[in-house]
Amino acid sequence: MHEELIKVFESILKVDSISEQDSIATIASWDSLQHIKLILAVEERFNIRFEAAAIPEITSFKAVFGAVERLVCPIGHAA
Amino acid sequence: MSTLKDVFAALDENPSISAYEATLKKLEGAQLEPLRLAILTNHTFDIQTALTVECARHGLCLRVYHADYDQYRQELLDPDAGHLAFAPDAILISLHLENAFPKLSFGTCASSQELPAVEDWLSDFQSVLSAYRDKSATPILLQNFIPPDTDMDGLLPTSGARSIFSWAMELNQGLSKLAVSLPEVYVVDAARLAFESGLKSWRDRRLFYIAGIGINPRKYPILSSRVARCLVALRHPPAKCLVLDLDNTVWGGILGEVGPAGIQCAGSLYPANAYADFQRALLALRSRGILLAVASKNDSRLVEDAFRQRPEMPLRPEHVTAWEVHWEPKPQSLQRIASRLNIGLESLVFLDDSPTEVDLVKSSLSAVRTYQMPARPEVYTEFLAQLTDFDQLTLSQEDRRRPQLYKIQAQQAELAASATDLVSFYRSLQTTITVEKADESNFDRIVQLFQKTNQFNLTTRRYDKSQLMERLSCGSELWAFRVRDLHGDHGIVSVALLEFESRTCRIDSLLMSCRVIGRTLETAVLCFLENRALARGVTQIIGEYRATTKNSPCHDVFKKHGFECISQEGDDKTCIKNITFQRTACPEWITIQANVPKSQEICCTKN
């Protein structure tokens, strides 16, 4: 899942590599329009849907990864 | 590098948002026709990636100017607007309902709450667009409103109360009327696309509330595809002729095996009803001016019998403009059809159910747009409807009448064959030319001729409407020539653009539809132009011939009419004629009527 998410980030934000520490503050091409595109591409890739409130909040790789994890395997996450 | 075809095949297999981004990257460096588009909106509309990709699929390399959020009015009204400096080839206006009417929301009950007046909004928008039209002729694509999918009416509209949905559709009808009333404004019917693909999926409430995004970005590809088709139609003429196989294409069954009584072509039973519907769809295309032709490997007498013995079949022999029914290879049939109708192979669409025939035509005549019919007749009509080869944004009177006009032409060919000499043939035609100045009534046809005429076109300058209007405002004269003869009215078939400079007149463009070549009409047209130039105090006329691969039929027009060649470069020539003493006379078998204001009246001398 981690690898897949990195691929989505790289294709939408058009960067060669993404690190755990990257966020909207560290990547120049990650602006508000690209953010929406990124979120939709992530939703599409993992067949999930974020809540409206979450979308503006998850602005780092870690935050997006965590949100995806919660939606993809909620039970495992709770455990 | 993989071919464009491979790139799009990979995209279509998985048309995800990431895949569109990846495709955009793969398109870098592709050889495509450039087109500049300004996008004006009242909502967040980040369609650029999808639109660039879909335009590339249709051969266009898109450059986009995206106006700032909700600046569409300012962009249209401000004389220093950003998009004007960008000099777009076309403008796309995308408006979102909830932003155009801020007091309106999904939480509206149309049955008991007041709705904004559609007329007020439309008349305001019309005045913005007309003001823009006064200063610019750039074509505008106007995306209509996606109707709301939710309201608070409950069941009330059941008793006839107005719903917010029907209110939005009225608004869209108003937009369509507005588009018709203004030159070069065309509606992109997004509402219809939304119905076709599920209205609910066109809005994503989350994205609207947090980012002002009106249209669900997942719908950008399908909307882009429609916009790209419109942009192509702005640039390129549609195919002119649909060439059909007969057995298992026009009707079901092999005629040679089942005989006229056995073919499936009419009635209420499957599959005959599906074939009959397909034939009705063919007639619908014909009513739009698309010629129908047949290329079939069959016994021609048996085919005649089939039409005679099955009068209930919707397609009739008189609907078919050209027949090729024999056992010779189909590529030859297609070439003969093109040359008989005097159109290029690229104007032909060919449909056949046999993969062998389809492959043969594709490999030997790549210019012909060849398609294999789907496997089952129940999808034939749908298949025909989704072809984009016949895309055009407006329909002129001439388009509608084209099938009749070609029939007239065929009668003339017969007459020419029976006339003992050429002059008596010309006389027998009783030709009258009416000269018209360019105006609103004939401008679309004039632009169409500039875009489409190949063979009799001296300079092949493909002016669009805006460029022609600009020329007119700079003092050029644009004349249209309408031709009538004993077979009927051919409509406007020739156009000339004249430029004046002190005592010289330059024939910038002179072109004539291939339907009327070979009737000495050009002599009558030049007679008119020379007299017109003389009336404006001109002493000499300059004519140019710019050679293309197609316009050799008119290479010696100037020489034949007393012009002297003053310079030549390759096959390109510049010719000059002093008209003070020597002018072209109108052939005695042609009558010219000038439909121009009294003060500008010109007489044409006959010889």
B430 φψ region: left (φ > 0), alpha (ψ -120 to 50), beta (else): left
B46 and A51 within 8 Å at the Cβ level: the answer is no
Let me know: does A36 contact B213? Beta carbons within 8 Å: yes
Share of chain B above pLDDT 90, in %: 74
Residues of the domain holding A41 = 2-72
> Residue B449, CB half-sphere, CA atoms under 13 Å: how many?
30
* Cβ distance of A7 and B18 shorter than 8 Å: yes
pLDDT the model gives residue B108: 85
Interchain CB distance below 8 Å, A52 and B206 = yes
Interchain CB distance below 8 Å, B206 and A51: yes
Nearest-Cα residue of chain B relative to residue A6: B18
Domain count, chain A: 1
Rounded to the nearest angstrom, the minimum Cα separation between A12 and chain B is: 6
User: Do B218 and A40 make contact, defined as CB atoms within 8 angstroms?
Assistant: yes
pLDDT of residue B417: 65
Between the two ends of chain B, the Cα-to-Cα distance in Å is: 65
**B24 at interface of A, judged by CB pairs closer than 8 A:** no
Q: Tell me the pLDDT of chain B averaged across its residues.
A: 91
What pLDDT is stored for residue B83 in this prediction?
A: 94
Per-residue model confidence (pLDDT) at position B597: 54
Cβ of A44 within 8 Å of Cβ of B17? The answer is: yes
Parallel, antiparallel, or unpaired for β B540-545 and B572-578? antiparallel
Condensed to tens digits (0 to 9), the pLDDT of residues B345-378 reads: 999 999 999 999 999 999 999 999 999 999 999 9
Q: Rounded to whole angstroms, what are the CA distances from B50 to B19, B36, B47, B219, B371?
A: 10, 15, 6, 9, 26
Interface with B, mutate which of A11, A16, A47 (most B CBs under 10 A)? A11
Number of A:B CB contacts under 8 A?
46
CB contact under 8 A, B46 and A11: no
Look at A44 and B46 and tell me if their CB atoms are within 8 Å: no
State the pLDDT at residue B394. 87
Average pLDDT over residues A40-48: 96
Q: Is the per-residue pLDDT at A33 higher than 60?
A: yes
Is pLDDT above 50 for B85? yes
Residue A46 in domain: yes
Q: Closest chain B residue to A41 measured between Cα atoms?
A: B17
Asked whether residue A50 is domain-assigned, the answer is yes
As a whole-number percent, the residues of chain B with pLDDT over 70 amount to 96
pLDDT in tens, B122-135: 999 999 999 999 88
Examine the pLDDT at B605 and tell me if it is beyond 60.
Answer: no
Whether A77 maps to a domain, the answer reads no
- Most A-contacting residue of B26, B206, B215, B219 (CB-CB within 10 A), to test interface: B206
pLDDT for B32-54, tens place per residue? 999 999 999 999 999 999 999 99
Distance CA B353, CA B248 (A): 6
Contact predicate B98/B44, CB 8 Å: no
Looking at the domain assignment, is residue A79 inside a domain?
no
Residues B134-160: pLDDT tens digits?
Answer: 889 999 999 999 999 998 988 888 888
CB A13 within 8 A of CB B21: no
CATH number of the structural domain spanning residue A52: 1.10.1200.10
Structure tokens at B236: 């390129």
Query: What distance in Å separates the CA atoms of residue B62 and residue A15, rounded to the nearest whole number?
Result: 23
Q: What is the pLDDT of residues B108-123, one digit of tens each?
A: 888 888 888 899 999 9
Alpha carbon distances (Å) from B551 to B171, B454, B512, B545: 47, 6, 11, 9
Q: Does A71 contact B at CB distance below 8 Å?
A: no
Q: What's the predicted TM-score (pTM) here?
A: 0.75
Instruction: For B557-604, write each residue's pLDDT tens digit.
Output: 999 899 999 999 988 999 999 998 888 989 988 999 887 654 444 444
Residue A6 resides in a domain = yes
**The pLDDT value given to residue A10:** 94
Contacts of B47 in chain A (CB under 8 A): none
Q: Is the pLDDT of residue B210 over 50?
A: yes
**pLDDT for residue A78:** 46
Alpha carbon B216 to its chain's center: 30
Mean pLDDT to the nearest integer, A15-29: 93
In a domain, A40, yes or no: yes
Q: Please give the Cα distance from B234 to A44 (Å, whole number).
A: 34
> 3-class DSSP state for residue B442?
helix
B192 touches chain A (CB under 8 A): no
Residue pLDDT, tens place only, B327-350? 999 999 999 999 999 899 999 999
Q: Which of A14, A32, A40 sits opposite B17 (nearest CB)?
A: A40
Using an 8 Å CB-CB cutoff, list chain A residues near B25: 14
What is the structure's pLDDT at B606? 45
Q: What is the pLDDT of residue B276?
A: 98
Tokens, residue B390: 């016949």
Interface of A with B in 20-39 (CB under 8 A): 32-33, 36-37
Predicted pLDDT at B418: 65
pLDDT digits (tens, 9 = 90+) for B411-445: 777 666 666 567 777 888 889 999 999 998 899 99
Whether B211 sits inside 8 A of A40 (CB atoms) is no
pLDDT digits (tens, 9 = 90+) for A50-71: 999 999 999 999 999 999 999 9
Residue B366 near residue B460, CB atoms below 8 Å? no
Contact B498, B477 (CB under 8 A): yes
Amino acid B2: pLDDT:
65
Q: Give residue-wise pLDDT tens across range B579-592.
A: 988 889 899 889 99
**Residue A10 lies inside a defined structural domain of this protein:** yes
- Is residue B227 helix, strand or coil? helix
Q: What is the pLDDT of residue B600?
A: 46
Give pLDDT tens digits for B486-523.
878 889 999 999 999 888 999 999 999 987 888 889 99
Q: Is residue A78 part of a domain?
A: no
Mean pLDDT of chain A: 92
Query: Given a cut of 80, is residue B208 above it in pLDDT?
Result: yes
Which chain A residue shows the shortest CA-CA distance from B17?
A: A41
Band (pLDDT 50/70/90 cuts) for residue A4 is: very high
Contact A44 B209 (CB under 8 A): no
**Contact flag A14-B44 (C-beta cutoff 8 Å):** no
